[in-house]
Chains A and B, each alone.
Chain A
Amino acid sequence: DTEVTQTPKHLVMGMTNKKSLKCEQHMGHRAMYWYKQKAKKPPELMFVYSYEKLSINESVPSRFSPECPNSSLLNLHLHALQPEDSALYLCASSQESLAKNIQYFGAGTRLSVL
């Protein structure tokens, strides 16, 4: 099973809402990632978790709060987002967070902030 599952597929939220994006993998991978992708742009790294610990935060605003409850799950908690945060949010995982590893991506959550 080389699948990374993201839920929900689509999400519409207001600027005062609190919502969460979920990501799950059962490949035994110990590194998990959140990316943000705007239309016609490449994915931009947001966070990296390695062995359930946050190892990279790419200066992401605090209205995005990642959480890794266990080695298979990764959440992204959203609060007080802005319309410019509307984007495709991609989760990925890899065996370890090392240069040689291939990343496996989920299909993404399409987020619209009204």
Chain B
Amino acid sequence: SQQGEEDPQALSIQEGENATMNCSYKTSINNLQWYRQNSGRGLVHLILIRSNEREKHSGRLRVTLDTSKKSSSLLITASRAADTASYFCSGQGAQKLVFGQGTRLTINP
């Protein structure tokens, strides 16, 4: 399975702190994507990192990819209350996304 597996499953931090989530996957991927989902809503694409990239930045987001370890991390710096959501990684194969179990992030004011 190309399924990503995130850890931790839940993370609670204070506003302003950094949040780090990890993702592992099992098979070769073309790219790895991170999505955010606010409670009961659709998913929003955050960032895509290709298999030949090691690190990517977008605003307060930093994603790393280690294909030798089949793992990725998502760092959110200077967290805000609005970052409270579930975060999913997905390794993408030929045609479809397969999502990991997700990390539920809570930012406490």
Contact = CB atoms under 8 A, between A and B. Distances in A.
A72 B45 CA distance: 20
Interface string B71-109: 000000000000000001000111111111110100000
Interface in B37-52: 40-45, 48, 50
B22 interface: no
Contacts, number: 61
A2 B94 CA distance: 24
The bracket for how many chain B residues form the interface is 20 to 34
B96 A42 contact: no
For A4, A6, A42, A55, the residue with the greatest tally of chain B CB atoms inside 10 Å of its CB is A42
A25 B93 CA distance: 24
Interface residues of A, number: 27
Contacts of B41: 107-108
A9 B80 CA distance: 28
A105 B5 CA distance: 21
B14 interface: no
Given A99-B30, A99-B93, A43 B99 contact: yes
Contact of A102 (B30, B33, B50, B100): B33
